[in-house]
A and B are shown apart, each in its own frame.
Chain A
Amino acid sequence: MTAQLAQMGLKVDNFDRIIALAGNPNTGKSTLFNALTGLKQHTGNWPGKTVTRAEGGYEFQNVKYKLVDLPGTYSLLSASQDEEVARDFILFGQPDCTIVVTDATALERNLNLVIQVLEITDKAVVAVNLMDEARRKGIEVDTRSLSRDLGVPSIPIVARTGEGIQMLLSTVAEVIEGEVKTQPIRVQGSPEYQRSITTLAEQIEQLYPGVPNARWLAIRLLDGDARVQSAIASGEISELVASQRRADVQFSRKMAVEGRQ
């Protein structure tokens, strides 16, 4: 890999940015994690290999990133233990950007999770991994069409060989800096569902002005998600909004200081 990427292994105390790594089980998330951090987390070809949250660091273009490898999940809706870890981190851990790793040979199944992640956060990049396997099987993936339809950048990569990783990292940086504007897709259900979701989402926004994912919270409330219920009842959501603002202020101050130097 080129000089722009420096693997930092477990040194993650001093970082500027947090990146979450989400994805279906067995899509090569851990391989990408290892390639970026230089760590050697074990990867195996069976679903559910990574079951705890692993953390590592890398430096790219002089910015230090902390990378959090979330457990592989099919969805964020079923509330199994690993799904809750992943969901909670994307929602409450407030990563600066979420990379959703997908398997190019089974995109249809993988996009279900991508769409769910995009409901929670608009700071996301889709990494279309295992492009070599796809080529071997004669599958062609048009990532430009994918980016256009999803409303977030999607980058073809081969995590095993490092192909496309530079592109992925610079895109992540651009999304964080706001140089690339994202406009995630929102799935429209039938009209009566849409109506209930909108009504409830409006109330949530009224309750917690500035909450970034009111629509998603509304969906979860209607679905009867115990965790989201308690987060709304206890005001945890408003803290989320507040700390988001604080982080933004801190960051722009830091940029101002660095700019003067």
Chain B
Amino acid sequence: MTETKQLQPQDVLAMAESLRPQLGSGFRDEIVQSMYTEAQRIVDRAVNKGSKKKWDLDQRIDRLVTSPIFGLPIMLLILAAVFWITIVGANVPSQMLATGLFWIEEQAANLFTSIGIPWWITGFIWHGVYRGLAWVISVMLPPMAIFFPVFTILEDLGYLPRVAFNLDWMFKKAGAHGKQALTMAMGFGCNAAGVVATRVIDSPRERLIAILTNNFVPCNGRFPTLIMLATVFVAASFPPVFSSFVAAGTVVGVVLIGVFFTMLMSWILSRTVLKGEASAFTLELPPYRRPSIGRILYTSIIDRTIFVLWRAILTAAPAGAAIWILGNINIQGVSLAQLIANFLDPLGFLIGLDGVILLAYIIAIPANEIVVPTMMMVYMGVGMMTDPPSYSQLHTLLVDGHGWTMLTAVNLMLFSLLHNPCATTIMTIYKETKSKKWAALSVVITLGTAFIVTFLTATIARLAGWV
């Protein structure tokens, strides 16, 4: 046995414990202050601030984009411009891609038939799987390839934190964080990316709110639906010169409705399930920086566009196959797809839609992009996904052929905006929160909102005799 007792870890901890109260609660303050005092001294010696001329430009821009009068209008204008550029710019390439890809399908299918391969193999591969892919690529690629770089420029400039600053009053009322505006902006590209981006919010409660409500921002996969409806049902009644502006305006309107529901749900969440979770607010406004165009193109196209597209392709191929099977298995002369649609019809009617649309949403759980083609398939009674005909033909098909009204269009826009997140987003929510509870809640609140809202609009419209 040794005379001196060996020092144990507990002794050190006990020592710390006994010293701590003597230092009082200002220990942290004291450490940080002495560090900053030192930092200040070092900087005073090493840095010459020089003339202050250049600061003024940054300040002037800041004054303008956060100004009480111009701040919000500038923001909305930029948002509308981004959508307009995307809609107009993507139109022609989308058509060309569709023409090209469907031409390949036709040729390949013909080739298969000519060498005697059974019709169902040809159908499954070319009119099912391949057509699903072609659809997703031609619908998604051009808008993404335009949207992402334009958006990345705003991001690299440093404009997004100013948006957070401008909108924080609104988020504060809802018990949320201004930075949620950033994560919502990311959600325009892809909700899964938006959910990941919530990591910038360093307070648990506000972060959970941002995660659970991100889906109320329509993502790239849902924009084609919104754009189509905006063009066919809203913009069609305006002169062609204005139609693209009207379409962009309508989409902005839908986005604003989404923002409204984000706020409402944030408000509810922060006062119910999330009450008592930790909360804090910090927001730094970084200086503006010149974006470097080369890198923007690279990152937005390779990292984002290809990444999101690849994910869509992975889900679209099996979905395409499923649609083909549903459309081609007939029971007493009626396709399986039609049967399910008929079954869902009463529920669809209740919320101002129909069974076909609901079926399309069920099939589109893995990826929202294929909602419209699925609908077309069932409507036109063909056993494969279909390229939509021109917008005027589409109008005729939907209104005259299948009894669509303005209510159907409006409610489909609302449903598309509010319904449950796609499978990837749900998985991402689970990964980010490490909780099945929150993932499930994200589905319940979105789907619940979608049904309640569309039910209300349908009922009100019917009672008022508008339809």
Contacts and interface: CB of A to CB of B under 8 A. Distances in A.
- Touch test A–B (CB under 8 Å): yes
B289 interface: yes
Interface string A104-148: 010111011011100000000000000001001111111101100
B387 interface: no
Contact of A51 (B32, B46, B199, B299): B199
Interface stretch (A3-11, A39-47, A91-99, A240-248): A39-47
A139 B47 contact: yes
B53 A138 contact: yes
Contact of B287 (A133, A199, A218, A232): A133
Given A44-B156, A111-B42, A232-B9, A219 B51 contact: no
Contacts of B302: 40
Chain B CB within 10 Å, residue with most, of A25, A49, A81, A139: A139
Q: Is the interface of B mostly helix, strand, loop or mixed?
A: helix
A187 B38 contact: yes
B273 interface: no
B115 interface: no
A254 B11 CA distance: 40
A221 interface: yes
A105 B288 CA distance: 12
A160 B292 contact: yes
Interface residues of B, number: 63
Interface string B175-199: 0000000100000000000001001
Nearest to A136: B54
Interface stretch (B17-25, B68-76, B234-242, B373-381): B17-25
Contacts, number: 175
A204 B200 contact: no
Given A45-B158, A47-B161, A112-B36, A133 B289 contact: yes
B20 A40 contact: no
A203 B15 contact: yes
Contact of A116 (B35, B54, B161, B288): B35
A138 B196 CA distance: 37
A62 interface: no
A150 B196 CA distance: 37
Contacts of A109: 39
Contacts of A141: 46-48
A31 B61 CA distance: 25
B281 interface: no
A77 interface: yes
B47 A222 contact: no
Contacts of B20: 222, 224
Contacts of B270: none
A146 B362 CA distance: 62
B51 A138 contact: yes
Given A47-B200, A108-B39, A149-B42, A142 B47 contact: yes
Interface residues of A, number: 65
Given A44-B156, A51-B199, A200-B15, A189 B50 contact: no
Contact of A77 (B32, B46, B50): B32
A40 B298 contact: yes
Interface in B294-309: 295, 298-299, 302-304
A162 interface: no
B196 to A, nearest CB: 8
A48 interface: yes
B85 to A, nearest CB: 20
B10 interface: yes
B1 interface: no
Interface string B24-60: 0001101110111011111101111111111100000
Contacts of B40: 108
Given A46-B182, A108-B39, A229 B286 contact: no
B66 to A, nearest CB: 15
A115 B35 contact: yes
A229 B9 CA distance: 9
B463 interface: no
Nearest to A161: B292
A9 to B, nearest CB: 13
B388 to A, nearest CB: 34
B55 A46 contact: no
A196 interface: yes
B43 A111 contact: yes
A108 B23 contact: no
Contacts of B291: 45
Given A133-B287, A141-B47, A200 B16 contact: yes
Contact of B284 (A26, A140, A145, A233): A26
B156 A139 contact: no
Contact of A146 (B9, B22, B46, B182): B46
Tell me which of A108, A192, A206 has the highest count of chain B C-beta atoms within 10 A of its own C-beta.
A108
Nearest to A237: B9
Contacts of A14: none
A252 interface: no
B432 to A, nearest CB: 10
Contacts of A204: 12
B160 interface: yes
A75 B31 CA distance: 12
Nearest to B164: A46
Nearest to A190: B30
Contact of A233 (B13, B303, B304): B13
B155 interface: yes
Given A45-B158, A46-B161, A47-B161, A189 B30 contact: yes
Interface of B: 7-13, 15-16, 19-20, 22-23, 27-28, 30-32, 34-36, 38-43, 45-55, 152, 155-158, 160-161, 182, 196, 199-200, 202, 284, 286-289, 291-292, 295, 298-299, 302-304
6 contacts: A42-B303, A42-B304, A140-B50, A193-B27, A203-B15, A222-B27
Interface of A: 25-26, 40, 42-49, 51, 75, 77, 80-82, 105, 107-109, 111-112, 114-116, 133, 136-143, 145-146, 149-150, 160, 185, 187-190, 192-193, 196, 199-200, 203-204, 206-207, 218-219, 221-224, 229, 232-235
Given A40-B298, A46-B160, A138-B50, 12 more contacts: A45-B160, A45-B286, A46-B182, A48-B200, A138-B49, A141-B47, A149-B45, A190-B30, A203-B7, A207-B12, A221-B13, A223-B28
Smallest CB-CB A-B distances: 10 pairs: A138-B50, A111-B39, A48-B200, A51-B199, A45-B158, A221-B16, A140-B48, A145-B46, A44-B155, A137-B54
